[in-house]
Structure 1
Amino acid sequence: MLPFFYRAKALAFLSFVLAGFFFLGQRGDMNNTDFFMKQAHRAAEIQMDTFIAAGLETYLNHLSSHLESFAVDADLLPFFRGNTAHEPQVRERWKQFLRLHAHVPYVYFANYEGKLFFEPNADLPEGYDARRRPWFRHALLNPGRVTWTPPYTEIPTGKKVLSAVMALQDPDSGQNLGVLSMDLGIEELESLLARIPLPENSFLGILASDGQLVASSHPEKMKALLAHPSSLLAIMSGETNVFHENPETQLLITTRLLPQPHWRIIQGLPQSAWQLPHAPNRKIAFFLMVTTLGLYLFLRFLELRSIHKQVLDFENHINVLRTEAPPLPSPSPAPLFPLADLCTRMAEDCRRGDEKIRILQSRLDTLIQKAPMGIFRSSPQGRFSEVNPAMAQILEYDSPEDLIHNMHDIERELYLDQQDRKVLQNRLLQGHILDFPTRFRKKNGTIGHACITAYPEYGPDGRIFSIWGFFTDISRQYQLEGQLRRMALTDRLTELPNRRSFMDLLVREAGRFCRYGAPFTLLVLNVDQFRDINADYGHITGDKILCALAEAFTSVLRSCDTLARIDGDTFAIHLAETPLDEGLSVALRIQEHIHGLHWTEPPDLKITLSIGATAPHETLRCPDLLLQEAEGLMYAVKKKGGKGMLPLPAKSRTFYS
């Protein structure tokens, strides 16, 4: 029978039976707890009813009856109607009442003009108006009935009081006469609650209809109770509940609602007053479960000990066979733990794999930290979360932490063109980005050029969680490219556009002429006898003459015109929006201006020009042919001796400006 108890199925069945017994025991304990809780609730309600009927309700009804007797007293009615001659008689009646009821500090009457008469008499603040006091307004809500106000501060003494108030009406005319009231100090009401016999650590409290604390025998306990919104809601709705004052103490809360005044009486009894029985059934079930489990483990231990002894005997038998018999195949391992060797090898492989991952991670971190390009990780909202030192160095920040802390909006603070950030994000939705050019702003405000390669990282919801990228500073490359571009398109001596640049301009302007019919004139100018000038005065002087001629040409031209040096001593001019006849006038003016120049070095030098002019028309639109025609006209002038132009200008020309 012993193997039955330590088999897995038997253990599961036994555990199920014991768990069911434990559950039934727990249900029985819960039923017992509910029964004793109901008994405790009933006892607390009886005690509450006794306190209300014998103590508080009798006390309040006694004061209310006196106030009603004052209201219907025929001797006091003339005073209430406004006859002040009866004031001494009224005060005498009030004094007698106050001597018999020392707990009432004041009896007073206020008419509808706001004037107050009270006993004992005291000085009131200047401009005092009784109609503004809470007790006056409260009485008007229920005229002809005695009602109790919530707690308020009384003006003469500054103490917290309650007032029994009654709005008076003339029994003959029905006219409103005023408000009659008497005060009851909060201290007196709390003293009354403290005199009621209660168990130790119990308390009584009174709440107004608006949830305000009126009085309590233990105010600190009431404040702790009302500090919990759920407890206050349960109390105001009249529910009976258990309030945990602290982890060790529980209070049984009982409430009652008085019809007049509209107060809610609260009683709190400690756990000692309603001690619940323990849970014996659950403990017995738990003890049986622990005992059975211990018995199972003991029997299992005996079984394993027996198996271990059998294994040792088997190994000894194998050793005897190896020494006294021919060699035998290696015995299979003991069946106790057939996967032990496999688990060991797998654990070793996992350890080696983790070690390789740590090494690779270390190498990757070193590579990122020492990479010459910027590497970053940013959020879709525009904040850097990780950057390497090269990224901080490119943007001229002190450290990666300084960059992450001080750059709050990448789109506004990093990108010079904020649209680049939006374009980059839109392209990331379609996949990764390679070599995205952009301009960026450094910490000191300088502008740089960069190339960005970025890859999105998606979250579990399929949205972009973060962006990984490489930030390469190509500002130096961009600067060198700009210098090479200027060198390729600019004449080094005169800093004018060269032939390549001028031909690009002709291509664009010829296209505008073909599309829109925009006219222009092309002038080709050559310096006459310039080789003789170089031979007589030297190449340095020749270079200076070419620079001076460039400045002289520029002074005559408009800002929209283009001057270029297309050969050694040959210049070309593009006159925008200028027909050929007006262009010839400009050429004539340039020629006259240059011929009239006086050279200081050498002083006897005279410069003349040979000019060829042309303009596009229906049969001549090609830029190369336009330049070829203008050059041909210029060379035709030189063959005739120079100092002229072709075609010749007409006699009447429009003014060129």
Structure 2
Amino acid sequence: MPEVAFLKTCPTPHALLDGRRVLFMNPAAVSLLDGPSAEYFVGRDLLEWIHPLDQERFLYRMSALTERQPQNEQTLLRLRTATGITRTALVNSAQISLDGRQINMASALDVSQILGMNAALRASEENFQRLFENMHDVFYRTNDRQELVLVGPGVTRMLGYTVEEVLGKPAADYYVEPQERQQVLQAIRQQGEIRDYPARLRHKDGHTVHVAITSKPMLGAQGELLGVEGIFRDVTAEVEARAALTRLATHDDLTNTLNRRAFLEQVTKHVRHLRRYPEECLLAIVDLDHFKTVNDRHGHLAGDKVLKVLVEVIRDSLRSTDLFGRLGGDEFAVALRKCCPEEGFDILRRLLHQVRATSVALGKGERVPLSVSLGVTPLLGEDQPVALAMARADRALYLAKEQGRGCFAFAPPEGEPFLSGHPFPDGVIGPRVG
């Protein structure tokens, strides 16, 4: 090609590009960028040799080249050479036709010495690099394919990866779930800019790092997305502290079950769900038999141990969809969701059996057998407030205890409660007290 032959001998640095990918670079351009040869640059993204602070402007100028606007006005750009030197160049870019295809041509003139900017640029570069390397937050930039093209060294401290490990990789690869990155991009497109957007990244060793992301899009002349840049900040300690406070507010300290307020709130929420989507559910109050005797004879620490063992037995007897909480003292409550009475009775009979088969060692060779009484009632969409269902279950519980404990009674929505199961006669459970 005579045009390329001419450019090879031209003393002005020239490069031919497919988009931003280098197709050809003449010796003057290779020398400007301190490269070993033209082959070193061919096939690579010219953005690699544009100073980070000028990359966005370079991307905009390249995206603006069209048949209607085939040439850009001259501008000053800072270049980063292959040896790491910063140079300032007067740059022209144009769209040309070569062998029937449209390609971009860029030319540059080194004006660093003319402008006398080397010393100032070195100081600026040092300040930029110092700030970049010492930022507590991590700066990042992606290209239009959402691949990381610039990342601050703080990524090593935060995620365990070196900068070299992440450059060129899709940003989505470092999220706990790749679709979370798509949610971030969607928020950027909708809002134009995001601040402290919550996301979860995965550390190199596998644990989750909670971050707050502040980002903005880099747009081309036609509004197309050229990439995204911003910072992300590690907020794991804050997220975990909030979760711990929430758990303290919703869980019982001793048994690690839902506390009374949290249990009733969740049951109330489920009752509202039942009003719109009716399904069979059961509510049960569980009372530990003879617990006062344990406390009186063995002390409250022994009583705490008994409660913890009981909770584990009950939890193992329930399904993952069921709700379980401590109402207070030796009383607990269970909500069996999507559960007909027949299935619920089977679950409760197994629970009674598992509790009956358990005893707790309290020292000096003494073991305390466990026994519970249950009051059961359907949980309905009409149970607003939930106290209506709780009152029915409480009446059933009273009947179960009155009939000898170690069993459960059922209270229908209408009518009196009745005994549903008494698999263990009183006396087998242990000495009756009270």
TM bin (shorter chain):
0.5 to 0.7
Provide Cα deviations, 1:49-101, integer angstroms capped at 9, x if missing partner: xxxxxxxxxxxxxxxxxxxxxxxxxxxxxxxxxxxxxxxxxxxxxxxxxxxxx
Query: Equivalent of 2:375, from 612, 624, 641?
Result: 612
Give how far 1:476 is off.
Answer: 2.9
Q: Secondary structure at the match of 2:419?
A: coil
Q: Which residue of 1 aligns with 2:279?
A: 518
- The change in CA–CA distance for 1:624 and 1:408 in structure 2 (over 3 A counts) is farther
Within 1, Cα distance between the matches of 2:386 and 2:320? 22
- Aligned 8 A contact 1:407 1:413 in 2: no
Which has the bigger relative contact order, CA under 8 A and spacing at least 6? 2
Q: Which residue of 1 aligns with 2:291?
A: 530
- The change in CA–CA distance for 1:368 and 1:524 in structure 2 (over 3 A counts) is same
**1:478 partnered with 2:239:** yes
Bigger helix share: 1
Give how far 1:356 is off.
Answer: 10
Map 1:369-408 → 2, pairs under 5 A = 369-398=133-162, 400=163, 402-403=164-165, 406-408=166-168
Q: Which residue of 2 aligns with 1:415?
A: 175
Q: Secondary structure at the match of 1:566?
A: strand
Within 1, Cα distance between the matches of 2:352 and 2:312? 14
Give how far 1:545 is off.
Answer: 1.3
Q: Aligned pair count?
A: 300
Within 2, Cα distance between the matches of 1:484 and 1:229? 74
Q: Which residue of 1 aligns with 2:419?
A: 649
**1:449 partnered with 2:213:** no
- Aligned 8 A contact 1:519 1:578 in 2: yes
Q: Which residue of 2 aligns with 1:503?
A: 264
Q: Which residue of 2 aligns with 1:575?
A: 336
- The change in CA–CA distance for 1:389 and 1:593 in structure 2 (over 3 A counts) is closer
Percent identity at matched positions?
25
Within 2, Cα distance between the matches of 1:427 and 1:554? 41
Within 2, Cα distance between the matches of 1:417 and 1:597? 42
Map 1:102-141 → 2, pairs under 5 A = none
Provide Cα deviations, 1:260-289, integer angstroms capped at 9, x if missing partner: xxxxxxxxxxxxxxxxxxxxxxxxxxxxxx
- Aligned 8 A contact 1:585 1:649 in 2: no
Within 2, Cα distance between the matches of 1:567 and 1:376? 51
Q: Which residue of 1 aligns with 2:397?
A: 634
Within 1, Cα distance between the matches of 2:181 and 2:374? 53
Within 2, Cα distance between the matches of 1:639 and 1:651? 13
Within 2, Cα distance between the matches of 1:553 and 1:511? 26
Within 2, Cα distance between the matches of 1:355 and 1:229? 41
Q: Which residue of 2 aligns with 1:432?
A: 193
- Aligned 8 A contact 2:273 2:381 in 1: no
Letter of the structure 2 residue corresponding to residue 375 of structure 1: F
Give how far 1:377 is off.
Answer: 2.6
Q: TM-score, normalised by structure 1?
A: 0.39
Deviates more, 1:565-574 or 1:575-584: 575-584
- The change in CA–CA distance for 1:535 and 1:453 in structure 2 (over 3 A counts) is same
Gaps spanning 5+ residues in structure 2: where? 4-114, 410-416, 424-434
- Aligned 8 A contact 1:564 1:573 in 2: yes
Give how far 1:450 is off.
Answer: 1.7
Give how far 1:616 is off.
Answer: 2.8
Provide Cα deviations, 1:369-403, integer angstroms capped at 9, x if missing partner: 322111223322223333333234323234x4x25
Within 2, Cα distance between the matches of 1:606 and 1:442? 47
Q: TM-score, normalised by structure 2?
A: 0.56
Query: Computing the radius of gyration over CA atoms, which structure comes out larger, 1 or 2?
Result: 1
- The change in CA–CA distance for 1:638 and 1:420 in structure 2 (over 3 A counts) is closer
Provide Cα deviations, 1:138-197, integer angstroms capped at 9, x if missing partner: xxxxxxxxxxxxxxxxxxxxxxxxxxxxxxxxxxxxxxxxxxxxxxxxxxxxxxxxxxxx
- Aligned 8 A contact 2:175 2:200 in 1: yes
Bigger strand share: 2
Deviates more, 1:589-598 or 1:608-617: 589-598
Give how far 1:572 is off.
Answer: 1.0
- Aligned 8 A contact 1:584 1:613 in 2: no
Q: Which residue of 2 aligns with 1:544?
A: 305
Within 1, Cα distance between the matches of 2:246 and 2:346? 35
Q: Secondary structure at the match of 2:141?
A: strand
- Aligned 8 A contact 2:193 2:217 in 1: yes
Q: Which residue of 2 aligns with 1:27?
A: none
Give how far 1:541 is off.
Answer: 1.1
- Aligned 8 A contact 1:534 1:541 in 2: yes
- Aligned 8 A contact 2:408 2:422 in 1: no
Within 2, Cα distance between the matches of 1:582 and 1:423? 41
Map 1:195-210 → 2, pairs under 5 A = none
Map 1:23-422 → 2, pairs under 5 A = 366-398=130-162, 400=163, 402-403=164-165, 406-422=166-182
Letter of the structure 1 residue corresponding to residue 308 of structure 2: C
Structure 1 vs Structure 2 CA RMSD? 4.1
- The change in CA–CA distance for 1:361 and 1:549 in structure 2 (over 3 A counts) is same
Query: Equivalent of 1:625, from 388, 391, 413?
Result: 388
